[in-house]
Chains A and B, each alone.
Chain A
Amino acid sequence: MVLKAKVGAGVAVALLSAGVLSAWSSPSSARASARATHGTVTIVSIRGTSGPTASLGVPGNNGLQLAVNSLNANGGLLGKKVKLILLNSEGNPDLASTLSRQAVLTDHAAALFGSVSSSSGAYEVQAAKRYHELVISYTFSDAAFTRTSEYTPYFYSVVPNTDMEPMAAALAFKKEGWTKIYTISPNYNYGHAEVQGFLAALKKLHVHYTLVGQQWPALGAPNFTSNISAILAAHPQAVYGGIYGSDLVTFTKEAEGFGFFNKTHFAAQYGAIDLQALGSAAPAGVVGYARGGWWTLKSPQVKTWAKQYDKKYGTYPSSFTMLGTMAFDAWVQGVEKAHSFNSTKVSRAMAGETVSTMFGKYTLRSCDHQAEIPEYIGVVSKKPTAYGFAGYSPTFNASWNNIKEACPVTR
C-alpha cells in the first residue's frame, strides 16, 4: 500500500509539474496574440545603455525612439503602430546573446536594431542566421559580418565597416605622410579588425609604413596611462586609435597630461558626443573621424532635427543618432516595399534599395548588404561648430567611392 501511495504521489507530482509547465508556457503566446490584436508591431533595440558603450548606446536609442514617435504620429506603418522595446546589453556579449534570443522568441520582434560593440554584434548576427530575423546594425561594424562566411542575408550594415573606416584614416595618413605608426585598439573583434583593415588600407594605398608598436587594452579599461607611456616611449610619428566612446574620452584627457598630442599625431573616432564630452579639452590638431557627421551637413532639416534633439535630451545627437535614424528609414522603406513585416520579405525588399533620409540618399548594396555611405574625417579645431562644440569639417575626402570595397568574390 505504501509503495502504491508513493507511485501515486510521483504521478501527482508529474501531473502538477506538467500543469505548471503548461501554465508557464502560456504568457509568451498570450503576448504574441495580444500584439496582433492591438495592431502594433514590435521592433527591438539591443544596446549597452550602461557600461563602457553607453555613450554610443543611449544616443542611438534616442534617435530610434524619435523616428518611431514621428512615424506613429503620422499614422504608423501598414496600418500598425510601431512599438520600440529598448534592451540594455550593458556592453556584455553574453547578455546581448540572451537578449537577442529574447527579442526573437519572446518579443516576436519584426526587426532587431543591433548593439554597439561587434563582440555583442557577433551574437546578434548568429540570431539573424538561426532564427531568420532581420538584424540591422548602425554601430557595430566588423566587416566579417558582411564580407566573410559570417554573412547572412538577414543582416544589414548601415555603418562604415572595419575596412571602410580605416581606409578613411589611411587616406589621411597618406596625405600627411605619416609612416612610423603605432596602433591602439580594444581587444575584441572590432579592435583587431579595425587595425587589420587600417594596415591593409595603407598597403593598398602603397604607403610604406613601419609599425613601431601595438596596444590592445580591454574595452572599458579604467585608465590608459601605461598604454600612453608605452606609445610615447616608441616615438611614433602618428598613432591610429581604434578606441572609442568613454574609452577615447578617458584616453584623451590622460594623454593631454602627458603632452601626448604635442609629441605625436593621433587619429581616432572623435564623434559629436565625444567632442561635446571633452568640451574645451578637445585636442585641436588631431585627426577625427565619425561614422555619422551630421554637424557637417548643411540641410535645414538636419539642423532642425539636431535642435529638437538638443531640446529634448539636453545634448546634441551623436553619429549613431543619425545612423540609427537612417537604419530605421531603411527598414520602413523595406516594409513598405514588401508590404509585410516578415523578415525574409523585408530583407529581400531592402537589398539594392536606395533609401531616402533627411541626411541624404544612400543605397543598400545587394551583394553584401553594406550601406553605401561615407566616413566623415577632418582635423579637430578649437573653433566651435555652429552647434557650440569643437568639431571639424571633412578635410579628407572619404566619400563612399573613396573607401568602398569590391563585392566579396565568394558570393
Chain B
Amino acid sequence: MQPDVRTTLVTPPRRTRNISIVVVAVAALIVLALGPLVLSASLQFLMLTMIVYALFAVATNFLVGFSGLLSFGQAVFFGFGAYTAALLWTHGVPFWVGFIAAPFMAALVAAFVAVVSLRTSRLYFALLTLGFSQLAYEICDALYNFTGGETGIPGINIPNALSGNMANFEFVLLVAAVAALALYWVRRSSFGMALQAIRENPTRAEAVGIHIYWHHVLAYVIAGLVCGLAGVLYVVYQQQVSPSLLDWTTSGEPVLMAVLGGMGMYLGPAVGSFIYLFLQNYVGQFTVQWPLLVGAAVLILVIVYPRGFVGGLADAFGWIRRRLGAREMVAGEGSSP
C-alpha cells in the first residue's frame, strides 16, 4: 500500500496543473509568434503549414480520439472551406464575408455527411466518410469551369494588410489559436463530457438520457466547422487551392498526425502535425520514400506505445515527478523531529 500513498501525495492539485498547462501553452504561442523574426522565409512557410495542419489535426482528433468517431472524410470540410473562400474571394466577395462564410459552409456540408453517415455502424461510417471524400474530389476535378479542375485556383488575392510575411503569419497563428481554444472549451463543456461518456460506454450514456445520434451529429458539425476554418487559413497563407486538398489521402494525414502526437492528449495531434511535416520536409530532401518512415513510426507507436509522442512526454514527466516526490518524502521522513 505504501507506494500508492506516496503517489497520491505528490500529485499536484488540479488548479496548479491547469495553470502549468496554460503557462506552457502561452509560452509555446509566444515562441511561435516570434517565428517571423527569427525564421527564414522557407521555414516561416513550413511553420505556417504546421500551424494550419495542427488545427486540422486537432479538429479531426475531436472526432476520432475524443468522440470515438473514426472519420476518413475530414478533407472534405478542409477542402470545402478552402475552395469556398477561394471561389468567393476570386469572385469579388469581401475578404471577411468569405472568411466567415466558408467555415459555416463546410459545417453545412458536415451536417449533411453526418446525418447520412452516422445512421450506419462504425465500420460503415468510416467507409462512408471515405466515400464522401473521394466523391468531393471527383466533383471538384470534373467541374473544370467552376473549380479549375485538376489545375485548381492559383494566385488568390487577399487584403494587402494580411499579405505581408509578419501580418500573414500572426493572423494565421492567432486565428488557429483561438479556434483551438474554442474547441478545447467545447471539449470541457457538458456537451463534451456527454461525448466522452458516449465514447466510454454508449449503453450507459443512452440510459441516462444522452441522445447518441444527435450528439455525434453535432460533434461532426463542430469538427467540420473547425476543419473548414483550417482550410480557409490554408488559403490565407498559400493563396491557392488544388483538388488534392479534398483527396482521401489528405483525410488520412490528420489521423496519422493524431496517432504520432497522441490521440489522448488535446494538443497531441498538433505536436503530431509538427513531427509529420518535419519528416516530410527534412527526410523528404534525402528520399522521396519519406512516407515509409512515417508509416514505420506510426506502426511502432500503435503497437508499442499508443499514447503517442505527447503521451510519452507526459508519462516521462509523471515518472520523474514521482521519483522526485518519493525522494522528497524519504528525505522529509529522515529529517522529521
Q: Which residues of A contact B (CB under 8 A)?
A: 2-3, 6-7, 9-11, 13-14, 17-18, 21-22, 24-25, 28-29, 88, 92-94, 97, 101-102, 105-106, 118-119, 122-123, 125-126, 129, 150, 186-189, 192, 216, 218-219
Contact = CB atoms under 8 A, between A and B. Distances in A.
B253 interface: no
Given A18-B38, A119-B151, A187-B149, A126 B27 contact: no
A267 to B, nearest CB: 23
A345 B143 CA distance: 40
B20 A28 contact: no
19 contacts: A3-B16, A3-B19, A6-B19, A9-B23, A10-B27, A21-B34, A21-B39, A22-B38, A24-B39, A92-B244, A93-B150, A93-B151, A93-B244, A94-B244, A119-B150, A123-B240, A129-B155, A187-B142, A187-B149
Given A9-B20, A14-B31, A18-B34, A192 B144 contact: yes
Interface stretch (B40-48, B94-102, B174-182, B206-214): B40-48
Given A7-B23, A123-B154, A188-B151, A218 B38 contact: no
B150 A122 contact: no
Interface string B144-160: 10001111101100000
B288 interface: yes
B42 A106 contact: yes
B272 interface: no
Looking at B26, B28, B38, the one whose CB has the most chain A CB atoms below 10 A away is B38
By secondary structure, the A interface counts as helix
A25 to B, nearest CB: 5
B84 interface: no
A285 B40 CA distance: 57
Contacts of A2: 12, 16
B129 interface: no
Contacts of A7: 23
B24 interface: yes
B164 to A, nearest CB: 12
Contacts of B24: 9-10, 13
A371 to B, nearest CB: 23
Most buried by A among B26, B238, B239: B238
Given A14-B28, A119-B152, A126-B154, A105 B19 contact: no
Interface residues of B, number: 36
A187 B155 contact: no
Considering the complex of A and B, which 5 residue pairs feature the smallest CB-CB distances, nearest first? A10-B23, A105-B42, A14-B27, A119-B151, A188-B150
B110 to A, nearest CB: 23
A94 B242 contact: yes
Contact of B42 (A13, A28, A93, A126): A28
B30 interface: yes
A217 B250 CA distance: 23
Interface in B91-147: 141-142, 144
A186 B150 CA distance: 10
A268 B34 CA distance: 54
B81 interface: no
A88 B155 contact: no
Nearest to B40: A28
B27 to A, nearest CB: 4
Interface string B45-74: 100000000000000000000000000000
Contacts of A10: 20, 23-24, 26-27
Contact of B242 (A22, A88, A93): A93
A97 to B, nearest CB: 6
A215 B24 CA distance: 57
Contacts of B154: 97, 122-123, 125-126
Given A17-B28, A88-B288, 16 more contacts: A6-B16, A10-B24, A13-B28, A21-B39, A24-B39, A97-B238, A97-B240, A105-B45, A106-B42, A122-B155, A126-B240, A187-B141, A188-B144, A192-B144, A218-B141, A219-B150
Contact of A122 (B30, B40, B151, B239): B151
Contacts of B43: 24-25, 28
Contact of B149 (A13, A14, A126, A188): A188
Contacts of B148: 189
A101 B39 contact: no
Contacts of B224: none
A45 to B, nearest CB: 16
A288 B12 CA distance: 78
Contact of B150 (A21, A129, A187): A187
A21 B141 contact: no
B142 to A, nearest CB: 7
Contacts of B16: 2-3, 6
A6 B23 contact: yes
A115 to B, nearest CB: 12
